[in-house]
Amino acid sequence: MTTRCAWAVGPLLTAYHDQEWGTPVTDDAAAFERLSLEAFQSGLSWLTILRKRAAFRAAFAGFDPAVVAHFDEYDEQRLLADARIVRNRAKISATISNARAVVALSATGGPGSLVRILYDAAPSDHVRPANAALVPSSTPESVLLAKRLKRLGFSFVGPTTAYAAMQATRVVNDHTADCAFG
């Protein structure tokens, strides 16, 4: 029997854990999707977001920042009416404005700018947690990352959301020490 992080329970969470969570990303679209979904997860269970992920991808044009950056008021209203996704006005507006921030970064910093910002936040001394109780919800690095993202025009990205994105993209490896996937 394979040992996994304690939260990887049930087929959907197990598949996400085994195949995606903590896997490095190399392009801004993948980083934008992770950051967006972590923001939508705020206040909800991750399982809820995973169950709606296909609908999120369809509603947000595959999380292509260049496409989402051109969403307008009509698109925002369409998204607010889409029962397949989380219909939170602040989170929807933030996703659209964050796409614009990703595009602006790419225009000034070259391809992969969001990816670089995420990986620049990596702590030099991170140690895999011994157990789930030792996994933090934020760190000094995620606080700095959230502040940097906000200065660059991102919204709905606080330290906890920033840290969750860092975990999802393996900026930090928070697979517990006994997890076979670490």
70 pLDDT band, cuts 50/70/90, is: very high
- Return the pLDDT at 106: 83
Report domain 26-168's class: mainly alpha
Cβ atoms of 44 and 86 within 8 Å: the answer is yes
Indicate which residues carry an active-site annotation: 16, 38, 46
Q: Write out pLDDT tens, residues 145-176.
A: 999 999 999 999 999 999 999 999 999 999 99
Tell me how far apart the alpha carbons of residues 97 and 103 are, in angstroms, rounded to a whole number. 10
Distances (CA, A) of 30 to 36, 164, 182: 10, 14, 21
Rounded CA separation 84/52 (Å) = 6
pLDDT in tens, 87-130: 999 999 999 999 999 999 988 765 569 999 999 999 999 999 99
pLDDT tens-digit series, residues 47-56: 999 999 999 9
Cβ-contact 141, 166 below 8 angstroms: yes
Q: Could you tell me the residue ranges of all domains in the chain?
A: 26-168
Identify whether the C-beta of residue 181 lies closer than 8 Å to the C-beta of residue 16.
no
Percent of the chain with pLDDT over 70: 98
CA distances from 112 to 29, 66, 143, 156, 175 (A): 9, 13, 21, 21, 25
Q: Cβ(28)–Cβ(113) under 8 Å?
A: yes
Query: Average pLDDT of 9-14?
Result: 97
